[in-house]
Every structure is written in structure tokens, then in C-alpha cells.
Amino acid sequence: NGTDGESGQLNGSADASNTVLDSLDDDELYKRLKDAGINCGPITATTRQFYQRKLADFLEPAGVTTPLPVSVGRNITENDEYSDNEDPEVILKQQSSVSAKSMNIPSQVPEDQEEFTAIRQRSRAKTEDTAVSHLIPPGRGPTPRPSIRNARGDLNKDYTPQMIRDNFMKIPPEEHQAVDEQIVPTKQRISLKQYNPKKPHKWGYKFFSRVGESGFVYDFEMYTGKGSVDVSDLGVGADFVLRLARGIPKHKNYKLFFDNWFSSLDLAQTLSDQGILTLATVRANRLKGCALESDSQLKARGRGSYDWRVETQSNAIVVKWYDNKPVHLISTYAALDPEDTCRRWDGKRKEYADVKRPNCVKEYNRFMGGVDLADMLLEFYRIDFKSRSKWYMRIFFFLFDLSVVNGWLLYRRCLAAGQKPMNLLQFKTDVARALLSGASLATPKRGRPLSDADTNSQKKRNYTCRPLDSTRLDGQEHFPAWIESKQRCRVCVQAHSKVKCVKCEVSLCFTPNRNCFLTYHTM
């Protein structure tokens, strides 16, 4: 009977929902489907019942929330690799603005939005980071943009990007690296903006980057338009590859991958002379009359067939492989063997088939995705900054995001075996907290209060930010100091103490009976 009662309640709730949907006209039902993100066609007498069921399945009972991921502790000292200690004054004057925006946090969240992603957590009491939220008054809009200045006072506009590039190239590189383009999305009216219809973000500033297999960006260069730099006989694309390859150790068996926009036989030979191995796709019109089987001949031999030639001067192999269409590759280290097979969908037989492929195709597919991986990591929690006047702020925040993502990848690289890494969101949150460690609350406005209630309101205490574990356990410069009034101990909450750590800025007991000062800095 109990089961029937529950079933009756569920059926009653479903009937009530269907009754509400039945009362909607076609236009209102179509609008609700679109608001719910459900793809739908025209609402007709035949399709109405189907779309009503889809919308009813999408709707959830009121008060249902999505559980949030559990955060883990971390160490952010690896992020210091990208800060120039010799030039510390190239800074953000308003670090709280950068830190709040670095998590892509909206200033307000609609009250009826119960389900929200991990990135929109600022206005929730249970999920907010108090180290950030206590600096942002409630109800306020976005904080002003940070002011960036060059402490040297010169006119070198490339100072900050070059400083970041130099610090990136100090990291030991990976064996397999790829060169490809990255797009910084923007729709500002500026001549530097490029258009590429094949990219997820069609409008934006174009960067050419050298990226490792893990997604770590080792070097980058911004494309500033035709005629901005001198072009050699190899072409614009090849010049970008040669400039980005300057940071690769020579004659150490490092491999570089790039696509057919950059590649040519001359470029492969030039890099081979410099001691850098290459593998790239290449356009047929850049092969200088290399005699290979025609498309019709390879198609007649079947899917997975290929032809190849060796260029004797540079010892490079050119392979033409036929899959759905012919693909040309040029390589100075990977050839045909060992062959393997890959699964491809056969549209005629409506089933998967095993297709033979050379080793160079397998290597290219495996190691060419580093730039795409970097783009994915940047897109997760990109700083969404809008500015109609200062176009360079988009580029600055791209470099800021890039530095944080590289720091997270370096942190994962330095983890001990078996140690669980933290996620990128928590890493960015800790970076924001580290930047905000020296910030303070905004001073209240002067003048008469607006109401009597404000006069009787209790004065808000200054918030003491909990230090990061990397700071608390580093064992450096943790000295006790006496304070005037007793404060609650951070370890044994019942006791109060006049001893305070000058670095962590927390009160701790230091008595003959208990030594919370030692416990706090060692456990």
C-alpha cells in the first residue's frame, strides 16, 4: 500500500505538470523548449505531445540542487616560476579584481537558479571563497579593471609578453611538441582581429604557439598582420615555425609537429640541418613535382592504401595515404613501419572496418593535439573581460590565464608518485587567494548613515584569511609575537591566546601545557 501511495503521489505530480503544459499555446510551449535548451521543430498537433513529454522530463522538482565537487589541498609554489623576481613592480594595482575575474565569477546569481556549475559559486554561502568574497561588497557590480604599468618607464610594449615567454622557456621541454595557432576571442573593432570560420571562436587575435604533448605552452608569438615582419623565401608559416623552434635544444632528438599551413620540403630540410626532427602534413603543390600515385589509383587499391618517396638531400620521406581522401605527410624521423590498423566507419556496409595506416600517420595523430589540449584548458575558466576602449586587456588576460594553466601543469608534473592532484578550478582559487593575501577591506564611506538601522548595526570585524598549506608548512620565518588583546586559538578553539604568528597572522596557544604553535606549523 505504501508503494501505491508513493506511486499515486508521483502520478499526481506528473498529471499536474502535464495539465500546466496542456494549457500553454504553441508559441509559449516553443519558447519554453528553447529556454530549456531542447532542440525542437514546429509545434503541430502531431508533435505537441512528444515535446510536452520532453519538457516534462527536463523539469525537476523545486529545491533540487546539484552536489558540488569536493576540493583538495594544494601547493602553488610552482606558479612562482612565471613571476620575474627581478622586476616585481610589473603588477596589478587592483589584485582583487583580477582574482575575482580569474574564476569567471558573476557578481549576482538569479535566486531561482538552483543548479549551477562549479565556476558560479561566489554568491552562495556554502560554496563561496571567503578570502575573495569578503573583499567584494554584496550587491556591487564588477570591480574596476586593473591598471597595468611598466616600472621601467620605457616605451617597450613587448616587455611583459617577452618576460612571460622567457620564463616559459626556462622549463625543461618535452620530447614531442607541436606548433599551431590559438585564437583569443574578441569582437572589438581593431585591425589586429582575424577571422577564421573553421574555429570555435571565429573572431579574435591570432597567436602561434609551441606546445608540448601535455598542453604546456613553451613559446608563443602574436600575428600582427601582413607586412608587419620581413618574410623569407620559405614563407610566412615557415618563418613562424623557425622562430618558435629557437628554444628547442638542437641535435637532442626533439620532435616537432605542425600542419600543412606551415610545412614544405625546404622547411623540413632547414629544421633537419638544425638538428630538429619533424613530422607534418603537407600540401600537394609544395612537393616540387614528387611523383606519387594519383588519387584514382589509390582509391582503386582500397581504403588504407599508400605510396611513398624518399627525398635524398634531406633524407625526408613523403607519404600519400588514402583514407576518406588522400593525405600527404612529410617526416624526417617516422616512416612506414611498424604498420597498424585503425577503426573507420564504412558508410556503404554500415559497419566499422579496420583500415591499414603507416607509422607516421599514427605518430602525427598522437602528438599533434597539444595545442588543442591547451585551448581546452584555457576555455574551462577563461577570464571573461569586456572592454571597448583598451583592446590590449584581452591579450593581457589571455597571458594571465596561460600562466595559471602552465603553472597547474607544472604542479602536476612535480607531484610525487601516487599523490592526488587538485583540479584546475581549485588551483585558480588558490592563486587568487595568494594574490589577495595582502589586500584589505574597503574603508566605509564617510558622512551621515542613511538610516538609524545603520547607526545601530554592529561593526564588522576584520577578516583573517586562512594561510595556504604551502605557506603554513614551509618552515620558514614563522616567529611568535605578542599582541595586546587575546584572540581565539586557531587549533584549540576553546582557548584564547596573546601569541600570534607574524607570517600566518593567526593566534596560537604557546603555554607549558600545550604548544599549538608547533602543532599548527607541522601538522
Please indicate, yes or no, whether residues 348 and 391 belong to a single structural domain of this protein: no
Please indicate, yes or no, whether residues 317 and 179 belong to a single structural domain of this protein: yes
Please indicate, yes or no, whether residues 357 and 506 belong to a single structural domain of this protein: no
Output the nine-digit C-alpha cell for 6.
508513493
Please indicate, yes or no, whether residues 223 and 360 belong to a single structural domain of this protein: yes
144, 94 contact by CB (below 8 A)? yes
Whether 455 is covered by a domain: the verdict is no
Q: Which amino acid is at 503?
A: K
Residue closest to 98 by CA, chosen among 373, 338, 404, 357: 404
427, 74 contact by CB (below 8 A)? yes
Please indicate, yes or no, whether residues 143 and 183 belong to a single structural domain of this protein: no
**DSSP-derived secondary structure for 107-123:** S---TT-----TT--TT
pLDDT of amino acid 228: 72
Whether 441 is covered by a domain: the verdict is no
CA–CA dist 337, 317 (Å, integer) = 12
Whether 254 is covered by a domain: the verdict is yes
Whether 466 is covered by a domain: the verdict is no
Question: Residues 364, 197, 219, 399: is their CA dihedral positive or negative?
Answer: negative
pLDDT in tens, the chain (523 residues): 444 444 443 344 445 455 567 777 787 888 788 777 677 777 887 788 887 877 776 664 433 333 333 333 334 444 455 545 444 344 434 333 333 333 333 333 333 333 344 444 544 444 556 656 666 555 444 445 555 555 555 545 556 788 888 999 999 999 999 999 999 988 888 888 898 888 888 899 999 999 999 999 999 999 888 877 778 888 889 999 999 999 999 999 999 999 999 999 999 999 999 999 999 999 998 988 788 989 899 989 989 899 999 988 778 999 999 998 999 999 999 989 898 999 988 888 888 989 999 999 999 999 999 999 999 999 988 887 776 667 888 888 899 999 999 999 999 998 888 888 889 998 988 888 888 776 555 555 666 656 554 445 555 555 566 788 878 888 888 988 988 888 888 888 778 888 899 888 888 988 888 889 988 998 7
344, 323 contact by CB (below 8 A)? yes
Whether 391 is covered by a domain: the verdict is yes
CA–CA dist 300, 304 (Å, integer) = 11
Number of domain units in the chain: 4
Please indicate, yes or no, whether residues 293 and 358 belong to a single structural domain of this protein: yes
State what percent of residues in the chain have pLDDT above 70: 70
401, 382 contact by CB (below 8 A)? yes
Please indicate, yes or no, whether residues 226 and 132 belong to a single structural domain of this protein: no
Residues 462-479: pLDDT tens digits? 556 678 887 888 888 898
Q: ∠ CA 114-120-123 to the nearest 5 degrees?
A: 75
CA–CA dist 168, 21 (Å, integer) = 57
For the beta carbon of residue 523, count every other beta carbon within 10 angstroms: 8
pLDDT of amino acid 45: 77
Please indicate, yes or no, whether residues 144 and 169 belong to a single structural domain of this protein: no
CA–CA dist 388, 394 (Å, integer) = 10
**DSSP-derived secondary structure for 269-336:** HHHHHTT-EEEEE--GGGSTT-----HHHHHHH-TT-EEEEEETTTTEEEEEEESSSEEEEEESS--S
Backbone angles phi, psi at 4, to 5 degrees: -65, -35
Please indicate, yes or no, whether residues 53 and 181 belong to a single structural domain of this protein: no
Please indicate, yes or no, whether residues 173 and 306 belong to a single structural domain of this protein: yes
Omega of the bond leading into 42 within 30 degrees of 0 (cis): no
Please indicate, yes or no, whether residues 354 and 393 belong to a single structural domain of this protein: no
pLDDT of amino acid 20: 63
User: Strands 306-311 and 496-501, how do they pair?
Assistant: unpaired
pLDDT of amino acid 118: 47
pLDDT of amino acid 278: 95
CA–CA dist 209, 218 (Å, integer) = 8
pLDDT of amino acid 150: 54
SS3 label, residue 80: helix
Helices (H) and strands (E) in the chain, counts: 16, 13
Whether 470 is covered by a domain: the verdict is no
Whether 487 is covered by a domain: the verdict is yes
Whether 303 is covered by a domain: the verdict is yes
* DSSP H helices in 175-294: 236-244, 265-273
pLDDT of amino acid 408: 94
Please indicate, yes or no, whether residues 231 and 257 belong to a single structural domain of this protein: yes
For the chain, report the end-to-end CA distance as a whole number of angstroms: 55
pLDDT of amino acid 176: 95
Give the range of the structural domain holding residue 82, as residue numbers without chain letter. Answer: 77-150+386-435
Which of 374, 395, 413 terminates a domain? The answer is 374
